[in-house]
Every structure is written in C-alpha cells, then in structure tokens.
C-alpha cells in the first residue's frame, strides 16, 4: 500500500505532460471510448441537478483536455439538454494542441437520443462551428428527424427502438471519428458499460458529500457483469482526485 505524496513541493504537471498522460492510443483501428465524470465523495453525479456544483478548476482542465484530444464528443440527450450543450468552442490552447496533433479544429458533438428529443433551436444545433451528429432510431418521429436534418445536423439511424451503441460507434468510426470522448450522462454510461464499450474512465472525485437523491454516474438497467479496470494514473489538486482507469483488455 502506498501513501500518495500531497505536498506543495511535488511537481506540477505541465500542459504537455498532461496531454501525454491522457493521450489516446496511437493507430486506432476501432472506436476507443473514454468516459469523463465527476462524482462527490458519496457517489453523487449531480449537486442541485447539475454536475457543475461538483467540479473544480482541475476537473475542468481534465474535462477540456478530453475534448482537446478527441475526434468526437459523445453525450446523451439528457445531459445535452440539462447542461445546455452548444458546439465545442475554440480556445488558444485547443487550437494549438489540435493543429499540432493533426486533429480537426474542433470536435463535433454526437448526441444519443432514441426519441430524437433534441430541438433544432438548441444551441447544440444552432450555435456550433461543426454540425452535430444525432444518433437516433427508426422509432423516433420522422418529423423531428427531418427538422434536425434541415437545421444541418447529421442524423444517423442506428437502432430500431433504442440506439444500438455499438452501431453508433461504428457510424462515428465510418466518419473517421475513433477517439471518442463521452461526457455522460449516467444512462448513456450504463448502456456503454453493459455493451462492453468503455475503454477508459476519467473520474474526478470531489471532496463533497452531496447526500441522497442524486443520480450516480451510471443509472438504468443493471449490467450482467462488472468490468475489471486498472488504475492508470492519479492526480490531485485542492482535495480533488483525478483518477484514470483503463478497462482490462
Ligand atoms: N457528474 C457528471 O460528470 C455528469 C456528467 C453528465 C451528466 N451529468 C448529469 O446527469 C443528468 C442527466 O442524466 P441522464 O442519465 O438523463 O443523462 P444522459 O445519459 O445524458 O441522457 C439520457 C438520455 O439519452 C438518451 N439515451 C441514452 N442512451 C440511449 C440508448 N442506448 N438508446 C436511446 N437513447 C439513449 C435518451 O434520450 P431520449 O429520451 O431523447 O431518447 C435518454 O433519455 C444531468 O443532471 C446532468 O447534469 C453529470
């Protein structure tokens, strides 16, 4: 057992060192899914209904890094709506990083929505540099699909009643989008776990007790079996833990 050094004398990681630590595997020939979450110490995924109350500057840095290094940001409709998603913005660091790594200027956002419940008026569709990708079903009302397509979204049918998440990832890979940064939420995450589609979890643990009543980071139908993970790195700042777990091959 090891006691983590927590002193101020420990070296701070530079942006480049963080980037190396969180880099996606090179030469991917399949979709590779990283999932980002922040949780309170007692396991809540929200405080007052949103994740922001749990976050910190260090967590936000890791969250932004996930976007910077990815080909596509994957999110469930619940999170996109509650958190007021809009297209990924350019920042000086993001622009420099992505140009150096040979990535597109900004990653598109891909939304999983079985019922196609995303309105074309949402900033996710209306305020973005790149069109969002809407991963939906045959059962979704045809007029909603048509309205989103008319607003510029890339609407992709990947399931009959529910989104088949493996097909969804394949559809992203067909568009050259293999480095997937999933930002939740809990129902999408449990679907990915059940389908065995998670490669890495970046989990920030906030030094906070949120109490009962909030979602956990995975919600929905129980999974058949637990996935074994290895702890790949541990960072700390201001009492927050930034954990990175890899699913065992
Ligand atoms: N702590 C954190 O890091 C964190 C991260 C993200 C979100 N959150 C919080 O989580 C809450 C939202 O939770 P949530 O579980 O509702 O979010 P979610 O997983 O983002 O959204 C659930 C919705 O996504 C769609 N969906 C997901 N998987 C699907 C599948 N396999 N097939 C078809 N549709 C699928 C469905 O949309 P349709 O109903 O449109 O079919 C479903 O209602 C918010 O309060 C947010 O703040 C916290």
Name residue, tokens 């996930």: 66
* Average pLDDT of the residues in 90-103: 97
H helical segments located in the chain? 15-21, 57-69, 77-82, 92-100, 123-126, 142-150, 165-174, 186-194
Number of H helices, E strands in the chain: 8, 9
Check pocket membership of 187 for ligand 1, CB cut-off 6 A. Answer: yes
On whether the CB atoms of residues 204 and 59 are closer than 8 A, the answer is yes
Task: Provide the pLDDT confidence category of residue 4 given band limits of 50, 70 and 90.
Answer: confident
User: Which are the contacts of 228, defined by CB distance < 8 A and separation ≥ 6?
Assistant: 247, 248
User: Which are the contacts of 68, defined by CB distance < 8 A and separation ≥ 6?
Assistant: 19, 93, 94, 97, 98
In this prediction, residue 116 carries a pLDDT of 97
Residue 6 has pLDDT above 70, yes or no: no
User: Which pair of tokens denotes residue 72?
Assistant: 């596509």
Asked which of 2-11, 53-62, 88-97 is least confident by mean pLDDT, the reply is 2-11
What's the pLDDT tens digit per position in 139-158? 999 999 999 999 999 999 99
Check pocket membership of 49 for ligand 1, CB cut-off 6 A. Answer: yes
* Average pLDDT of the residues in 20-24: 97
CA 223 vs CA 195, 200, 242: distances in Å: 9, 17, 25
HEC assignment per residue over 23-51 = CCCCCCCCCEEEEEEEEECCCCCCECCEC
* Average pLDDT of the residues in 27-48: 95
Residue 32 has pLDDT above 80, yes or no: yes
Q: Is the pTM of this model over 0.85?
A: yes
Residue 3 has pLDDT above 90, yes or no: no
Q: Quick one: DSSP state of residue 213? A: T
Residue 39 has pLDDT above 90, yes or no: yes
What's the pLDDT tens digit per position in 167-207? 999 999 999 999 999 999 999 999 999 999 999 999 999 99
- 23 versus 226: which is more confidently predicted? 23
Between the CA of 113 and the centroid of ligand 1 the distance, in Å, is 9
Distance CA 198, CA 71 (A): 16
Between the CA of 186 and the centroid of ligand 1 the distance, in Å, is 6
Distance CA 36, CA 70 (A): 12
What's the pLDDT tens digit per position in 201-246? 999 999 999 999 899 999 999 888 888 999 999 999 999 999 999 9
Task: Provide the pLDDT confidence category of residue 52 given band limits of 50, 70 and 90.
Answer: confident
What radius of gyration, in Å, describes the C-alpha atoms of the chain? 18
Residue 122 has pLDDT above 80, yes or no: yes
Task: Provide the pLDDT confidence category of residue 7 given band limits of 50, 70 and 90.
Answer: low
- 130 versus 4: which is more confidently predicted? 130
Task: Provide the pLDDT confidence category of residue 9 given band limits of 50, 70 and 90.
Answer: low
Residue 43 has pLDDT above 90, yes or no: yes
On whether the CB atoms of residues 188 and 76 are closer than 8 A, the answer is yes
Helix (H, G, I), strand (E, B), or coil: what is residue 54? helix
Report the sign of the C-alpha dihedral through residues 99, 73, 93, 14, in that order: negative
Between the CA of 194 and the centroid of ligand 1 the distance, in Å, is 15
To the nearest whole number, what is the mean pLDDT of the chain?
Answer: 95
Check pocket membership of 66 for ligand 1, CB cut-off 6 A. Answer: no
């Amino acid at each position: 057992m090891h006691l983590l050094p927590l002193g101020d004398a420990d070296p701070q990681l530079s942006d480049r060192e963080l980037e190396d630590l969180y880099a996606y595997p090179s030469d991917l020939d399949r979709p590779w899914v990283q999932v980002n979450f922040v949780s309170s110490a007692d396991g809540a995924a929200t405080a007052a209904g949103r994740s922001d109350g749990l976050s910190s500057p260090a967590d936000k840095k890791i969250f932004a890094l996930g976007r910077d290094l990815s080909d596509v940001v994957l999110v469930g409709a619940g999170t996109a709506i509650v958190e007021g998603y809009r297209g990924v913005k350019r920042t000086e660091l993001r622009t420099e990083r992505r140009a150096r790594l040979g990535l597109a200027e900004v990653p598109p956002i891909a939304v999983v929505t079985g019922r196609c419940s995303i309105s074309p008026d949402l900033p996710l569709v209306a305020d973005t540099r790149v069109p969002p990708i809407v991963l939906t079903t045959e059962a979704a009302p045809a007029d909603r699909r048509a309205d989103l397509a008319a607003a510029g979204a890339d609407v992709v049918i990947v399931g009959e009643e529910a989104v088949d998440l493996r097909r969804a990832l394949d559809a992203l890979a067909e568009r050259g989008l293999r480095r997937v940064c999933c930002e939740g939420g809990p129902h999408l995450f449990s679907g990915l776990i059940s389908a065995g589609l998670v490669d890495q979890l970046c989990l920030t643990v906030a030094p906070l007790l949120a109490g009962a009543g909030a979602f956990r980071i995975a919600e929905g139908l129980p999974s058949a079996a637990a996935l074994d993970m290895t702890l790949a790195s541990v960072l700390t700042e201001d009492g927050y833990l930034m954990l990175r777990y890899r699913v065992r091959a």
